[in-house]
Amino acid sequence: MARALLKLRGVEARYGRFVALQDVSLVVPEGAAVALLGPNGAGKTTLLRTVSGMLAPTRGEIRFGGERIDGMRDYRIARMGLAHIPEGRGIFPGLTVRENLTMSSNVGGNGGGVKRALELFPVLGERRDQVAGTLSGGEQQMLSLARAIIVRPRLLLIDELSLGLAPRLVTHLFDTVARIRDEGVSILLVEQYVTHALRLADIVLIMAKGRVAFIGEPGELERDERLVESYLGHAGTASYAIAEGPAPAKRKARARSAKRTAARKKRA
């Protein structure tokens, strides 16, 4: 069994008086992908923010690579090999693609990482002189991933990679994340699309009301739709079809509507 790269034990985090995380314990093994699922407001984003040092825990212990990091400043944690892609794109929108990548290269001290990033996302090479904020949503998310992998992290935290993107592009991004994982980078992923999360993950955690409510293997959720619905509700069950389901369904509905319209015109 791979040793633990990240380990949380009894972690609590607050926003003022509001307790966002309660007694959270989990492990991310080296080289593994862990999917963190749950309804809105369950504490998923707060957990990532707490691990990366953006929010200091009020109780508990966080260890990364065997070293205790709870309460450590975020830049120090980043230098240890932890990269965090926050919800809503982790880029500098006023800088060009080239400048975004160069900044990450300077921070990570790894010029070769830029070449690797452009191999994974060749479109960024074509857009290197374009201002990042003018890229499409998918291209901005590619740039977020590229910036993160340039520093060659040991652990990559990803918050809602698919947010606001078309299903086809989401599939492409998840394929890239799988390649990054296969190169030995551990992944802790918050994701709304259950299908993509389960395909990527070795371990699945479900959060509810600031606590870890379920820990298991992806197969346990894939085999038991009622288990998904009990933790995630109907939205979680429906998200199994996100990759291929909704788009074809909409196309069929539009086709039926067009046929009915044509039939009415013909009768008129």
Q: What is the CATH number of the domain that holds 203?
A: 3.40.50.300
- Report the pLDDT value the prediction gives residue 113, as an integer from 0 to 100: 77
Distance CA(181)–CA(129), nearest Å, equals 29
Residue 214 lies in a domain: yes
Q: Into how many domains does the chain fold?
A: 1
Residues of the chain with pLDDT under 50: 238, 240-268
Mean pLDDT of the chain: 85
- Report the pLDDT value the prediction gives residue 264, as an integer from 0 to 100: 47
What does pTM read for this prediction?
0.83
Residue 142 lies in a domain: no
- Report the pLDDT value the prediction gives residue 89, as an integer from 0 to 100: 73
Residue 119 lies in a domain: no
Q: Which helix H or strand E contains 29, and what residues bound it? A: strand 18-29
Residue 110 lies in a domain: no
Domain residue limits at 59: 4-81+153-267
CB contact at 8 A, 28 and 218? no
Residue 138 lies in a domain: no
Residue 54 lies in a domain: yes
Among residues 155, 147, 11, 157, the alpha carbon closest in space to that of 71 is found at 11
Residue 28 lies in a domain: yes
- Report the pLDDT value the prediction gives residue 107, as an integer from 0 to 100: 62
- Report the pLDDT value the prediction gives residue 224, as an integer from 0 to 100: 76
- Report the pLDDT value the prediction gives residue 256, as an integer from 0 to 100: 41
Residue 46 lies in a domain: yes
Which two structure tokens, joined as six digits, stand for 254? 């539009």
**Terminal CA-CA length for the chain:** 71
